Structure 1
Amino acid sequence: MEQKEKGNHLKSSGDTAWQRREAYRRRKEWLWQIIVFSLVVGVVYLFAQNIFDNLQARDIRSGFAFLSDRASFEIGESLIPISSNDSFGRMFLAGMLNTIRVSVLAIITATVLGVIVGLMRLSRHPLVRFLGMAHVEVYRNIPLLIQLFAIYLVITEFLPDSFDPIHFGSWAMLSKAGLQFSVPQNLWLANLLALGLGLTVFVLLRRYLLRRLTGMMAACNAFIVAAIMAVMLWVVCGIIFGWSQPHQEGFLVTGGASATPEFIALWVGLTTFTSASIAEIVRAGVLAVPANQWNAAAALGLTRLQTISYVILPQSLRLVVPPMASQYMNLTKNSSLAVIIGYPDIVSVGNTSIVIMGQALEAIVIIMMVYLLLNLVIAVIMNRVNAKVIAAPR
């Protein structure tokens, strides 16, 4: 009995000593973190104060008060109503929305094209495999800047003039002015209804498919079905509300919606350039799956398409998702090259603001914060996707 009490006493003493050491270690870590954080804050403060003093000495206006001033310039296209009478802040908002618009669309199309090309490179047919390899080698080895110039040159030089466009019935027109196409009369309502239906179908169908498929496969199948149903509802809205169709009136096109040559060139360039890298990521992920998985699927009587869809791709996602996040971030940052072809993104608006107001530092800070925010959002989303992929059963 005495030995047992003595053992318990020694054990409790050991636990107490370990707890003291652990508490000391934590206090030491917190102290060093506070010191480093204070040093960083101090350096940043001195740097900012030095810049402010230099600007004051040269009688240069500083601060972000200019965002409420009248912009006095126009931008070619915007998702929100905009005019020269609006403030610089609203102009920056329009530029940010244009950046988000082309980045999101290019991410979707680059992913779809990249997956297709990556699987083409694994095809048993020599011609299909060669076409996949050609796509990767051409678009991956030519700088994106040159590709944008080439695509924009094709659009502006080889397409017909705006007064003599290529007609696709009464539904669309294509010319140097861009692509004009028909949309429902009440476009915002149609978009809202389609988005609502798509999200609802995705959530409900994903829950149902999770009983039969893995998490990512259920999400992919639910997304495809939800997208199809959203598009169908959008078309039904056009049938119910009527269509706003483009009409040629001299040099002007009225009605419908349009995609400018600058937007098309940037979208296509980002899609092709990024899809080449995504194709190689997909190919590497598929090749990393052990060969016995293919053999097991064949023994169960699955076709090659079923094997890839239900066996290989779900397992390859563990290797594919992390580098895909980097590609999405690179695509968003590469969208800043829009300024060279005249697309009014956040960089273009910032450059114009610098010319008018002369406050280069503030405009550059705004641009940096926008890209930082967008990439942090992408990182958070992809980290959640990666966590679900890792947690999925093998």
Structure 2
Amino acid sequence: MTILTPESAPRKRSRSWLTRERVSGLLWQILVVGAAIAIVAWLWSNALHNLSVRRISTGFAFLGREAGMPIADAWLAYSPQNTYLRAFMVGVANTLRVAVIGIVLATVLGTLIGIARLSSNWLLSRLAAVYVEVLRDLPLLLQLLFWYVLMQGLPAARAAWMPVDGVYLSNRGLVLPSIPLDQGNFWVIGAAVLGLIASWRLNRRLVALQFADGRPRRLWPYALVLVVALPTLLSWALGASWTITLPELRGFNFVGGVTLSPEYFALLVALVTYTSAFIAEIVRSGIQAVHIGQWDAAMALGLRRSFMLRHIVLPQALRVIIPPMTSQYLNLTKNSSLAVAVGYQDIVSIANTTLNQTGQAIEAIALVMAVFLTISLGISLFMNWYNARIALVER
């Protein structure tokens, strides 16, 4: 009688990873990628040949030449004597001005309107519904032109509206008070931002402790120290100045303060109101996706409705809200290219002017595509990171 031992037992023959199906799939992938590369190389060589025949220069050497174009609304220092590269940098900054501020304002406004749509107040919910339906159904370009024409119809600077002391609204734009910032001011602002982050982390910790033992803990004493007391002490130590500069009318224009041009203001308002209507629907659907039992359980514990919304419902709704919200952020960023319709000089407008002056269309369009691709990928990466952070972890 033969006894089989683990060493003498017949081993199961291992299958090689190089199966016929895998080799066939790998070959097809190589062929497809090679064909794509060949097509792109042929198109590129054909374009270079046609440009050389027409004696049109190629390359990005033009970026070092003097631009000679005026840019009226620029937060970065610029003059027509600067290079095209500097002009493109100003265009990127102007695009980011619209995209970043627009995303923040649209998120806040859309969230408030989405919550208002679920309000038990009939009038408030109906007004929010009308806002959403009207703005979603009107083309964005039409809304942009409406706001721009409305800004042009405002009175001149000498007869500007002054809704609040130091704030002027005229056909020259919106003029606001400003605070001149230097290095010390930026250090204080950075300390305040760190204090806000620390307060947010501390608030999460205090809420977790409250859920553990049922005892409420106040955040405001710690937040007062982190956000107000420590930055104030740092400001005193650095001697930072926080003098508010009020705008003054001199001649036919304002001096001092911060001026938001009619083009920028119309573009920002149109993008914020249009995008906020879509965000409101996303927020509303996300809140309604949370099971009604969550509300019932929180009400049974005697929690306030605002506490339930902030700490129970919205954190769960974010898992539904974040993916479509990312799409709206990307849409707002890409829709900012409509600035050319009202004369706001963003990256697209400056690229068009550069194209007309230099004739290098491929390079100018490639730069615009690279800028929007970089911004969009940055937004997507951040939102995907945040979405993964708040996702439910299965055990």
> Do they superpose with TM above 0.5?
yes
Equivalent residue in structure 2 for 1:179, among 154, 170, 174: 174
Question: What is the CA distance between 1:392 and its match in structure 2?
Answer: 6.3
Question: Structure 1: which 5+ residue stretches go unaligned?
Answer: 215-220
The residue that corresponds to 1:106 in the other structure is 102
Whole-Å Cα distance in 2 between the matches of residues 123 and 83 of structure 1? Answer: 52
Question: What is the CA distance between 1:204 and its match in structure 2?
Answer: 2.3
The residue that corresponds to 2:73 in the other structure is 77
Alignment of 1:1-394 (within 5 A): 2-5=3-6, 9-10=10-11, 13-14=12-13, 17-18=14-15, 20-21=16-17, 32-157=28-153, 159-167=154-162, 171-185=166-180, 187-189=181-183, 192-213=186-207, 229=227, 240-391=241-392
The residue that corresponds to 1:217 in the other structure is none
8 Å CA contact 1:184–1:190 kept in 2: the answer is: no
Cα deviation digits, residues 259-306 of structure 1 (max 9, x gap)? 111111111100000000000001111111111111111111122222
Q: Which amino acid aligns with 1:177?
A: R
Whole-Å Cα distance in 1 between the matches of residues 132 and 394 of structure 2? Answer: 32
Whole-Å Cα distance in 2 between the matches of residues 118 and 252 of structure 1? Answer: 40
Whole-Å Cα distance in 1 between the matches of residues 377 and 129 of structure 2? Answer: 32
Count matched residues: 376
> Which SS does the other structure have where 1:244 is aligned?
coil
Cα deviation digits, residues 115-154 of structure 1 (max 9, x gap)? 1111111111110110110110111111110101111111
> Which SS does the other structure have where 1:179 is aligned?
strand
Whole-Å Cα distance in 2 between the matches of residues 305 and 170 of structure 1? Answer: 34
> Which SS does the other structure have where 2:267 is aligned?
helix
Question: What is the CA distance between 1:33 and its match in structure 2?
Answer: 4.3
- Compared CA separation, residues 8 and 322, structure 1 to 2 (3 A): farther
Question: What is the CA distance between 1:188 and its match in structure 2?
Answer: 4.2
> Which SS does the other structure have where 2:169 is aligned?
strand
Question: What is the CA distance between 1:22 and its match in structure 2?
Answer: 6.7
8 Å CA contact 1:173–1:180 kept in 2: the answer is: yes
Question: What is the CA distance between 1:324 and its match in structure 2?
Answer: 0.2
Whole-Å Cα distance in 2 between the matches of residues 281 and 374 of structure 1? Answer: 23
Whole-Å Cα distance in 2 between the matches of residues 211 and 23 of structure 1? Answer: 54
- Compared CA separation, residues 30 and 316, structure 1 to 2 (3 A): same
Whole-Å Cα distance in 1 between the matches of residues 59 and 227 of structure 2? Answer: 48
Question: What is the CA distance between 1:24 and its match in structure 2?
Answer: 8.2
Whole-Å Cα distance in 2 between the matches of residues 194 and 133 of structure 1? Answer: 42
Moved more, 111-120 or 251-260: 251-260
Whole-Å Cα distance in 2 between the matches of residues 198 and 391 of structure 1? Answer: 31
8 Å CA contact 2:185–2:240 kept in 1: the answer is: no
Whole-Å Cα distance in 2 between the matches of residues 67 and 30 of structure 1? Answer: 42
Moved more, 37-46 or 341-350: 37-46
Whole-Å Cα distance in 2 between the matches of residues 321 and 387 of structure 1? Answer: 10
Question: What is the CA distance between 1:240 and its match in structure 2?
Answer: 3.1
Whole-Å Cα distance in 2 between the matches of residues 326 and 196 of structure 1? Answer: 30
Question: What is the CA distance between 1:171 and its match in structure 2?
Answer: 2.6
Whole-Å Cα distance in 2 between the matches of residues 180 and 325 of structure 1? Answer: 32
Cα deviation digits, residues 226-263 of structure 1 (max 9, x gap)? 9x948x969x8999342332121101322222111111
Question: What is the CA distance between 1:77 and its match in structure 2?
Answer: 1.2
- Compared CA separation, residues 122 and 57, structure 1 to 2 (3 A): same
Over the aligned positions, Cα root-mean-square deviation in angstroms equals 2.9
8 Å CA contact 2:155–2:171 kept in 1: the answer is: yes
- Compared CA separation, residues 380 and 24, structure 1 to 2 (3 A): farther
8 Å CA contact 2:196–2:227 kept in 1: the answer is: no
8 Å CA contact 1:289–1:315 kept in 2: the answer is: yes
TM-score normalised by the chain length of structure 2: 0.87
Question: What is the CA distance between 1:8 and its match in structure 2?
Answer: 5.8
- Compared CA separation, residues 351 and 114, structure 1 to 2 (3 A): same
Whole-Å Cα distance in 2 between the matches of residues 4 and 110 of structure 1? Answer: 72
- Compared CA separation, residues 338 and 21, structure 1 to 2 (3 A): same
Whole-Å Cα distance in 1 between the matches of residues 30 and 245 of structure 2? Answer: 61
TM-score normalised by the chain length of structure 1: 0.87
8 Å CA contact 1:170–1:245 kept in 2: the answer is: no
Question: What is the CA distance between 1:67 and its match in structure 2?
Answer: 0.9
Whole-Å Cα distance in 2 between the matches of residues 172 and 260 of structure 1? Answer: 14
Whole-Å Cα distance in 2 between the matches of residues 7 and 190 of structure 1? Answer: 79
Question: What is the CA distance between 1:312 and its match in structure 2?
Answer: 1.1
> Which SS does the other structure have where 1:183 is aligned?
coil
